[in-house]
Structure 1
Amino acid sequence: MKSQRAQANPLQVFKVCALSFWFFLPAESIGPSEAVARENEPPIFVTWPEKGLGLSIDLTGFKKVIDQVKPDGRRNLTALHPKTKLNVSITLEKVPTQATAQGCLEQLQLIRKGPYVIGGQDIALNVTGEIPTLEYTLHEFQGNRLDEKHVYACVAQDNVYADIHLSKAQYTAADAPLFQSILNTVRLQPSPSKPVQAPPPVPPNSRELLDVGNALYRQNQYAQATLPYQKAFDLETAEPQLDRTLWRVLIDNLGMAYTLSGQLPKGKALLEQGIQTDPAYPLFHYNLACTYAEMNDLDHAMQSLKTAFRHRKNLNPGNNGMPNPRQSPSFQRFMKHEAFRNLINDLTATKS
Structure 2
Amino acid sequence: MVGLRVVRILILSLAGAGVATGQSSQPISLVQPAGTGRVVYRSDPAWKIRGLGLLDEGTRPVLELANQEQKMSLSYLMFVNDTGKHDSESCRKAVVGPILTRLGEIAAVKNSRAGTYTTKSGKVLATHSYLLSGYGEMKMEQQNLFGFFGDASTCFEVHVSKVSYEPGDQAMMEAELDRFAFDAGYQPTTMDYFQQAEILFRALQKPGAAAFYYRAALDSVPVEGMDARQVMQRRVLTDQLVMSYGMTEQFKKSRELATQAIQLDPEYPLNYYNLACADAEQGHAADARAHLQQAFDRKANVLPGEKMPDPARDSSFQKLKKDAAFWTFVQGFSTPMELRKR
TM-score normalised by L of structure 1? 0.50
Aligned equivalents of 1:17 and 1:325: distance in 2? 12
1:200: which partner in 2?
Answer: 184
1:90 Cα deviation from its structure 2 partner: 3.7
SS of alignment partner, residue 267 of structure 1 = helix
Q: Given the alignment of the two structures, is residue 336 of structure 1 paired with residue 322 of structure 2, yes or no?
A: yes
Change (3 A) 1:229 1:334: same
Aligned equivalents of 1:243 and 1:234: distance in 2? 12
**Deviations 1:18-61, CA, capped at 9 Å, x for gaps:** 44212871669xxxxxx799xxxxxx9xxxxxxxxxxxx97379
Aligned equivalents of 1:311 and 1:350: distance in 2? 21
1:282: which partner in 2?
Answer: 269
Change (3 A) 1:190 1:27: closer
How many correspondences in the alignment? 215
Change (3 A) 1:192 1:315: closer
Q: Given the alignment of the two structures, is residue 259 of structure 1 paired with residue 246 of structure 2, yes or no?
A: yes
SS of alignment partner, residue 77 of structure 1 = strand
Change (3 A) 1:299 1:77: same
1:235: which partner in 2?
Answer: 220
Change (3 A) 1:18 1:289: farther
Cα contact 2:276–2:292 (8 A) shared by 1 = yes
Amino acid at match of 2:41: L
1:273: which partner in 2?
Answer: 260
Change (3 A) 1:128 1:253: same
2:313: which partner in 1?
Answer: 327
2:234: which partner in 1?
Answer: 247
Change (3 A) 1:194 1:267: closer
1:189 Cα deviation from its structure 2 partner: 1.0
1:300 Cα deviation from its structure 2 partner: 1.0
Cα contact 1:209–1:232 (8 A) shared by 2 = yes
Cα contact 1:223–1:257 (8 A) shared by 2 = yes
Cα contact 1:22–1:246 (8 A) shared by 2 = no
2:145: which partner in 1?
Answer: 189
**Deviations 1:157-178, CA, capped at 9 Å, x for gaps:** 996xxxxxxxxxxxxxxxxxxx
1:194 Cα deviation from its structure 2 partner: 8.7
Give aligned-pair identity as a percent.
24
Change (3 A) 1:264 1:75: closer
1:303: which partner in 2?
Answer: 290
Change (3 A) 1:252 1:26: closer
SS of alignment partner, residue 322 of structure 2 = coil
Change (3 A) 1:326 1:188: farther
2:96: which partner in 1?
Answer: none
Change (3 A) 1:192 1:323: closer
Amino acid at match of 2:145: Q
Cα contact 2:15–2:195 (8 A) shared by 1 = no
2:71: which partner in 1?
Answer: 130
1:346: which partner in 2?
Answer: 332
1:109: which partner in 2?
Answer: none
* Uncovered stretches (5+) of structure 1, i.e. residues with no partner: 1-13, 29-34, 38-43, 45-56, 79-88, 92-103, 105-125, 134-156, 160-186
Aligned equivalents of 2:210 and 2:193: distance in 1? 10
1:318 Cα deviation from its structure 2 partner: 0.7
- The structure 1 residue matched to 2:41, chosen from 36, 54, 59, is 59
Q: Which stretch shows the higher mean deviation, 306-315 or 210-219? A: 210-219
1:207 Cα deviation from its structure 2 partner: 2.2
Aligned equivalents of 2:266 and 2:4: distance in 1? 19
Cα contact 2:15–2:198 (8 A) shared by 1 = no
1:10: which partner in 2?
Answer: none
SS of alignment partner, residue 61 of structure 2 = strand
Change (3 A) 1:214 1:262: same
- Output aligned runs, 1:63-142, within 5 Å: 69-71=55-57, 76-78=60-62, 89-90=63-64, 128=69, 130-131=71-72
Change (3 A) 1:237 1:264: farther
**Deviations 1:169-226, CA, capped at 9 Å, x for gaps:** xxxxxxxxxxxxxxxxxx9414559989975331211122122212212133111111
Q: Given the alignment of the two structures, is residue 217 of structure 1 paired with residue 201 of structure 2, yes or no?
A: yes
SS of alignment partner, residue 41 of structure 2 = coil
Change (3 A) 1:193 1:244: closer
Change (3 A) 1:342 1:75: closer
* Uncovered stretches (5+) of structure 2, i.e. residues with no partner: 17-25, 31-38, 44-51, 75-98, 104-142, 157-181, 338-342
SS of alignment partner, residue 189 of structure 1 = strand
Cα RMSD over matched residues?
A: 4.3
Change (3 A) 1:208 1:192: closer
Change (3 A) 1:341 1:249: same
SS of alignment partner, residue 348 of structure 1 = coil
Cα contact 1:19–1:249 (8 A) shared by 2 = no
Aligned equivalents of 1:75 and 1:285: distance in 2? 31
